[in-house]
């Protein structure tokens, strides 16, 4: 019993610093992932409910309106996705986001996904 001790002050300090670092990572990454998930949902809803002969320009315009309505104002749909209309609408989303993290270290988040109107409507 005489030799048992609890955690030292240095161990507690290291644990607090580690928890703060993990919280900073989670806060930096949470926003862009949430925005990307909302973007995927809006693309799928528009493909599900939209007409098959919709022009790519109208699709981009509708998606910009939906993103603005959902308070995603830092992404323009034309900058993050390409829309084609060959036997239905196909959307290819491919973009990356750089977030400053610590001093001169940035976090780079890359998002890629393809959507096809016929496969979305089949779900």
DSSP-derived pairing of the beta strands 105-116 and 81-85:
unpaired
State yes or no: pLDDT of 1 exceeds 60: no
Domain ranges of the chain: 31-122
Q: Show the beta-strand stretches assigned E in 47-104.
A: 81-85, 89-102
For residues 98-107, give the mean pLDDT: 90
Give the N- to C-terminal CA distance of the chain in Å, as an integer.
Answer: 64
For residues 106-122, give the mean pLDDT: 88
């Amino acid at each position: 019993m005489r030799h048992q001790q609890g955690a030292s002050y240095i161990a507690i300090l290291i644990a607090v610093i580690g928890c703060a670092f993990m919280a900073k990572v989670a806060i930096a990454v949470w926003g862009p992932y949430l925005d990307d998930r909302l973007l995927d949902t809006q693309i799928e809803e528009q493909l599900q409910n939209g007409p098959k002969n919709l022009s790519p320009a109208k699709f981009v315009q509708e998606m910009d309106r939906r993103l603005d309505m959902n308070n995603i104002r830092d992404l323009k749909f034309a900058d993050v996705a390409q829309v084609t209309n060959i036997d239905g609408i196909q959307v290819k989303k491919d973009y990356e986001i750089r977030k400053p993290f610590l001093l001169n270290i940035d976090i780079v988040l890359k998002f890629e996904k393809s959507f096809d109107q016929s496969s979305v409507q089949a779900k």
